[in-house]
Amino acid sequence: MITVIGGGPAGRIAAMCLAAHGKTVTLFDSRVEGLGGQCLHQGCMVICAQNDAARTCDEARALHRFGITDTEPAIDYARLQEKMADVQKTIAGIIGTETTESGVTVICDHARVEGNRVYAGGIEYESDAILIATGSVPCIPPIPGAGLDGVYNSHSLPGLRRSPQRIVIIGSGVIAAEYAYIFRVAGADVTVVARSTLLRGFPGQLITGARRDLTGVHIREETEVVAIEGTASVTGVRLQTNGNEEVIPCDTVLLATGLRPRTDSISGIALGPDGEILVNERMETSVPGVYAAGDVTGPPYLTPLARREGRAAVDAILGLPLKPVPACIPQTIKLRHEHSIALHPDAEENGTMIPSPAAPGSFWLVPERHTGQSLLITDNTTGRINGFYEVSPQSSAAAGYLAYLINSGVSVDAMDSFVEVHPSSEGIVWLMRYCTERREDRQFSEEKK
């Protein structure tokens, strides 16, 4: 008997894999909405759904500016939330059926772990092995007024059933940037307040590109939030910059201040300084027979990594060999364009950059000179591909494959015979050919010497 706690990407995939190996698996998940975890219900899928609506609206407005269409679209945010919930319910039903049909017993109940013991509904469940995949929850800073009506975080935002007029987004990361774009297109006056700088930690080229997609958003950096003001509901946010205070009027506040591991119901297992479950390379915790995977083990909070960790835990439980962890994990920030990036740890930030070509999704952005850009980082000696940054309408489609090339140590020379689909909005292929030709020219020059 193997017990898995958490029905998100790490736990659900692990449970299904264990069942496929003939194990008896019970999966506990406390979400009444169904399986899928944060990714489906408050995270990735929510951003995708809302970004689809925002970008479609943005594209239609561009056609209207050119006089091609006779109406200018607008987003009904309340309707968007309502219809999005319908689709999420459909997806949850599909993956729920998929999970149970794989042989996993799913129990909708809150489970707690005390060392190597699992309790749910007043019952102790005997387990040969336990996998904790309880995910993460929003990290809520101790800001006065954070409990007022009109203050949301990524988990409570689905409850917003109106279109904000003026929204302040507190945070400097990916979620803050993505929602800033969504609400700006939805017609809100948007202010992003960053305690440090927007998208700190990302390469400068990405930050520059993201800022262009966020044109029209007020970005306040190196700014502290003193308090969220209002009596019963939000009326404004008091800020402090360089010792000077001011109040930004608003009717909505979004706390996009990061995530923390969800370990509130975990005891008797060693935790790190931020509450994350400490694990080794085989996802083993400090308690024999107890494993952990996904967001509950700490950042980075990325769905593909959670799935991989869930599979690593499965291999450990089954006694299979350890698979190596990829050196770099691709990531995409969804704004007007998709900003996709993957960097090998050895990669330098500088590389070769060109504008992305005009193609589906970016043709009508040529007058604005906003078709995107492509950056390729290679090793000058070996030609090895060490990193990329691609800004284009659908850059995420190729990002995983490009990361695979980086993790495999492929040289640009090997891509010389690669033929891309045309038309394509990605310029990485052109950069690969350019870098290959430069290497050939240098080799030819050296041979002549």
Among 80-94, 155-169, 338-352, 361-375, name the one with the lowest average pLDDT.
Answer: 338-352
Q: How far apart are CA 275 and CA 37, in angstroms?
A: 19
Q: Is residue 447 predicted with pLDDT exceeding 70? A: no
Residue 106 lies in a domain: yes
Say if residues 291 and 313 touch (Cβ distance below 8 Å): yes
* pLDDT score, position 399: 94
* pLDDT score, position 388: 95
Residue 324 lies in a domain: no
CATH number assigned to the domain comprising residue 202: 3.50.50.60
Q: State pTM to two decimals.
A: 0.94
* pLDDT score, position 419: 87
Residue 145 lies in a domain: no
Q: Are residues 298 and 309 in the same domain?
A: yes
pLDDT band, very low/low/confident/very high, at 444 (cuts 50, 70, 90) = low
Backbone angles phi, psi at 185, to 5 degrees: -65, -30
Q: Are residues 159 and 211 in the same domain?
A: yes
149 C-beta neighbours (distance < 10 Å), count = 11
Across the range 195-204, mean pLDDT stands at: 93
* pLDDT score, position 151: 97
* pLDDT score, position 380: 82
Q: Are residues 177 and 271 in the same domain?
A: no
Q: Are residues 49 and 114 in the same domain?
A: yes
Q: Are residues 125 and 6 in the same domain?
A: yes
* pLDDT score, position 448: 66
Residue 125 lies in a domain: yes
Quote the percentage of the chain above a pLDDT of 70.
Answer: 98
* pLDDT score, position 442: 74
* pLDDT score, position 348: 76
Domain with 222, as residue range(s), is 151-257
Closest CA to 152 of 84, 91, 92, 81: 81
Give 200-254 pLDDT, tens digit per residue: 999 888 999 999 999 999 999 999 999 999 999 999 999 999 999 999 999 999 9
In the block, which residue shows the tokens 């489609």? 397
Residue 44 lies in a domain: yes
Sorted by sequence, the CB contacts under 8 Å of residue 196 that are 6+ apart come out as: 172, 221, 222
Q: Are residues 30 and 104 in the same domain?
A: yes
Residue 144 lies in a domain: no
Q: Are residues 236 and 339 in the same domain?
A: no
* pLDDT score, position 441: 74
Q: Are residues 133 and 239 in the same domain?
A: no
Q: Are residues 311 and 340 in the same domain?
A: no
Across the range 140-152, mean pLDDT stands at: 96
Q: Is residue 100 predicted with pLDDT exceeding 90? A: yes
Sorted by sequence, the CB contacts under 8 Å of residue 428 that are 6+ apart come out as: 374, 376, 388, 390, 398, 402
- Residue where a domain terminates, one of 216, 235, 257: 257
* pLDDT score, position 417: 86
Say if residues 221 and 239 touch (Cβ distance below 8 Å): no
CATH number assigned to the domain comprising residue 413: 3.30.390.30
Q: Are residues 350 and 390 in the same domain?
A: yes
Sorted by sequence, the CB contacts under 8 Å of residue 7 that are 6+ apart come out as: 15, 27, 28, 29, 31, 34, 35, 36, 37, 99, 106
Closest CA to 210 of 329, 340, 304: 340
Q: Are residues 247 and 268 in the same domain?
A: no
Give 341-382 pLDDT, tens digit per residue: 999 988 876 789 999 999 999 999 999 999 999 999 998 888
Across the range 51-61, mean pLDDT stands at: 96
Task: Say how many domains are in the chain.
Answer: 3
Give 415-440 pLDDT, tens digit per residue: 888 888 889 898 998 899 888 888 87
* pLDDT score, position 449: 61
Q: Is residue 159 predicted with pLDDT exceeding 80? A: yes
Q: What is the mean pLDDT of the chain?
A: 94
Residue 108 lies in a domain: yes
Q: Is residue 1 predicted with pLDDT exceeding 80? A: yes
Across the range 55-62, mean pLDDT stands at: 95
Residue 129 lies in a domain: yes
- Residue where a domain terminates, one of 237, 257, 277: 257
Q: Are residues 47 and 108 in the same domain?
A: yes
Residue type, 169: I
